[in-house]
């Protein structure tokens, strides 16, 4: 992280290791130019098209001296500073090299078949079929590569960058780099900030399990969960966001409500839905969370007074990477995976997720989880 004067604020050990720097090279306040002069020069570097616009920073691909590849996203902060986040894309590069090699071999095969066609008429059909399969697989690989690149860029910009800043600053405050905080209560708050940031970073990694869920390879562990403290802890995570918008958030859960389910999955469902509710509820709005037992199941209901969802767009909700666009949501970007993950996790428990909404009035999301039903078998 660089400040508005392009001087170093902080960096992690991976930045130091990947760039061949020592402790003396990364003292906070050191000008960026001085740091970069001491860095081990990359074997190869190129600037990519910037998905964040002309004033949003830059994106680079770098090959390190040990052969690994990094994708570095540089994003400007509101105060004019810069945050750099590097993602290891070595495996993606290796996949691209294999794809190029496969394409070269496929083209050689097509060329050989084209020459042989003059002498062997029956091989014409084989050549056409091979070419069709080749084009189909090439298009599929390109589409997958685009989707992966867009997803990684979005995750980096929308989630990893601010979370790394939150965690990094809270660590600095815990270690009192600039002196004591002055109150034991502040120490408690810093611990909460760090714990919440670390949990959210874990959720980001869990998002990568989406493909496992869709493939039926995601397993969950059932245990007895006291729902009241779990939801109270989850509400605490989003309470600060709600307070910043003067949103009132109330809960109604029985003190003695036990659910046999996967603790992490239930917590992720609740935090995803509450975060969405806060995100799309305007200043001074209201959110309520209710939990009750209905016919052998626990019903979680989250109701907000937000912008609502157009009727013709409700069917799109819950699909990975899709968001409903309306006048309010244009200013709120994200991966679009929250509802998809919540719905999939509910279904893995043998339950379901339903949405009712009125545009301009608000949204009600209901999640039904059977209390004692067996989980779906993992593939």
The per-type count for the chain, helices as H runs and strands as E runs, is: 10, 11
| For residues 224-233, average pLDDT | 90
Strand 82-88 and strand 69-76: the pairing is: antiparallel
Domains and CATH numbers, the chain: 225-324+333-370 (3.30.565.10)
| For residues 10-27, average pLDDT | 90
Q: Tokens at residue 151, please?
A: 């997803």
Residue pointed to by tokens 């990568």 = 208
Q: Environment class of residue 93 by beta-carbon count within 10 Å: exposed (0-12), middle (13-18) or buried (19+)?
A: middle
pLDDT digits (tens, 9 = 90+) for 180-204: 888 888 888 998 898 888 777 766 7
pLDDT digits (tens, 9 = 90+) for 128-158: 888 888 888 888 887 876 676 566 556 655 6
Instruction: Tell whether the model's pLDDT for residue 229 goes beyond 80.
Output: yes
d(CA 219, CA 215): 11
The pLDDT assigned to 327 comes to: 41
The two most distant CA atoms of the chain are separated, in Å, by 89
pLDDT confidence tier of residue 376, bands split at 50, 70 and 90: very low
The pLDDT assigned to 285 comes to: 93
d(CA 59, CA 257): 49
- How high is the mean pLDDT of the chain? 81
pLDDT confidence tier of residue 205, bands split at 50, 70 and 90: low
For 337, phi and psi rounded to 5 degrees?
A: -95, -15
Q: Tokens at residue 188, please?
A: 């408690």
d(CA 202, CA 204): 5
> In terms of Cα–Cα distance, which of 320, 255, 248 is closest to 282?
248
> In terms of Cα–Cα distance, which of 93, 84, 94, 31 is closest to 60?
84
Instruction: Tell whether the model's pLDDT for residue 289 goes beyond 70.
Output: yes
pLDDT confidence tier of residue 83, bands split at 50, 70 and 90: very high
């Amino acid at each position: 992280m660089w400040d508005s004067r392009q001087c170093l604020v902080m960096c992690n050990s991976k930045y130091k290791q990947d760039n061949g720097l020592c402790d003396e090279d990364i003292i906070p306040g050191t000008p960026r130019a001085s740091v970069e002069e001491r860095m081990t020069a990359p074997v190869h570097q190129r600037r990519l098209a910037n998905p964040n616009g002309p004033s949003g920073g830059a994106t680079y691909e770098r090959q390190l001296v040990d052969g690994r590849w990094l994708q570095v996203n540089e994003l400007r902060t509101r105060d004019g500073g810069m945050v750099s986040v590097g993602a290891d894309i070595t495996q993606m590069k290796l996949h691209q090299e294999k794809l190029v090699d496969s394409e070269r071999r496929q083209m050689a095969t097509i060329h050989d078949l084209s020459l042989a066609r003059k002498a062997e008429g029956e091989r014409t059909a084989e050549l056409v079929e091979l070419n069709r399969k080749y084009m189909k697989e090439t298009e599929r690989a390109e589409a997958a590569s685009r989707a992966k690149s867009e997803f990684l860029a979005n995750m980096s910009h929308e989630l990893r960058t601010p979370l790394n800043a939150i965690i990094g600053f809270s660590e600095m405050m815990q270690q009192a780099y600039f002196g004591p905080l002055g109150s034991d209560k502040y120490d408690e708050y810093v611990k909460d900030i760090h714990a919440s940031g670390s949990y959210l970073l874990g959720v980001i990694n869990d998002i990568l399990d989406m493909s496992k869920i869709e493939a039926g390879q995601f397993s969950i562990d059932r245990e007895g969960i006291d729902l009241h403290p779990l939801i109270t802890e989850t509400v605490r995570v989003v309470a600060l966001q709600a307070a910043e918008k003067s949103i009132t958030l109330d809960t109604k859960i029985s003190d003695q409500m036990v659910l046999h389910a996967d603790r992490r999955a239930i917590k992720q469902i609740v935090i995803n839905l509450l975060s969405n509710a806060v995100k799309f509820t305007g200043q001074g709005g209201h959110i309520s969370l209710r939990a009750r037992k209905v016919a052998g199941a626990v019903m979680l209901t989250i109701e907000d007074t937000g912008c609502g969802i157009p009727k013709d767009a409700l069917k799109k909700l819950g699909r990975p990477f899709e968001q409903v666009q309306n006048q309010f949501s244009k200013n709120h970007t994200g991966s679009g995976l929250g509802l998809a993950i919540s719905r999939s996790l509910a279904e893995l428990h043998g339950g379901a997720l339903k949405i009712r909404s009125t545009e301009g009035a608000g949204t009600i999301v209901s999640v039904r989880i059977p209390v004692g039903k067996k989980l779906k078998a993992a593939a």
